[in-house]
Amino acid sequence: MSDGHSEEPRVRIGTPIIGADGKRIGEVDGVVLNPVNDRVRLIVMRKGLLFHSDQSFGVQSITKVDDEGVHVSFTRDDADVMDHWMDQDYLTPPDGYFAGSGVFWVARQTREMGEMNVEERDMESSDSSLGREERLVELNQGMEVVDRDGEHLGRIGDLAADAAGRISAFRVDQGRFRQSERWVPLPLVARTTDDRVFLTLTTAELDECLERQGAIDPNEGFVIDRDE
């Protein structure tokens, strides 16, 4: 597969993580992607053999990626005091969105109108570049979806939830009888009103984003997102 980034270093699930002192700290157990470009923003690191401990760190800590593994700027001692990986802060994309597991998006507060399924979370540590906001997003089938410029895209035809029951994405139906097979990641929602969903992308940007669904093979690795 060619995605235009073949020359860039890639992070693969299971790759060793090597500290600044040259010693192995753990391995890559998962990645948190920017849903706009499907590039890695956070690494989930698994430490230990019998008793696992999962922690996460930003790609800014990666110094290089080579045949030995992912080299980072911290040591095992530094990793021992890092924050632990918190599942509730992250969403699992719908089945088929990526060809494999261990891939996540940043979560946000959601409520499915009608079922009133509220995700109670502290959103103070928001990351606007990944779509996190300190407000509740309400979604329901039939709501109109518009792009960043206000252009009509369709209406919500279905909602996808992760294993914890949290909304992770929604399908946009285009036209009366035509259904899209692609899912719009929840972090791409800028805001909602009573009957409308506003996205963070233009139609062209969204089309480019959705075209990658199902085309990314985790065995080939994920490109690191160095953009701030």
Summarised one tens digit per residue, pLDDT across range 35-66 is 888 899 999 999 977 667 899 999 999 999 99
Q: Which two tokens stand for residue 159?
A: 């909602």
pLDDT score, position 186: 92
Q: Which one, of 212, 188, 214, lies nearest residue 201 by Cα?
A: 188
Q: Which two tokens stand for residue 51?
A: 């008793």
59-95 tens-digit pLDDT: 999 999 999 999 999 999 999 888 888 877 888 888 8
pLDDT score, position 108: 59
Sorted by sequence, the CB contacts under 8 Å of residue 76 that are 6+ apart come out as 19, 21, 23, 25, 47
Is the Cβ–Cβ distance between 80 and 61 less than 8 Å? no
How long, in residues, is the chain? 228
Between CA 93 and CA 146, with CA 153 as vertex, the angle to 5 degrees is 85
pLDDT score, position 7: 66
**CATH numbers and ranges of domains, the chain:** 10-102 (2.30.30.240), 108-211 (2.30.30.240)
Query: What burial class does residue 186 get, using C-beta atoms within 10 Å of its C-beta: 0-12 exposed, 13-18 middle, 19+ buried?
Result: buried
- List the chain residues with pLDDT less than 70: 1-7, 50-51, 99-100, 108-136, 175-181, 227-228
Is the Cβ–Cβ distance between 11 and 72 less than 8 Å? no
- Alpha carbon distance 101, 28 (integer Å): 12
Percent of the chain with pLDDT over 90: 43
* pTM, rounded to two decimals: 0.77
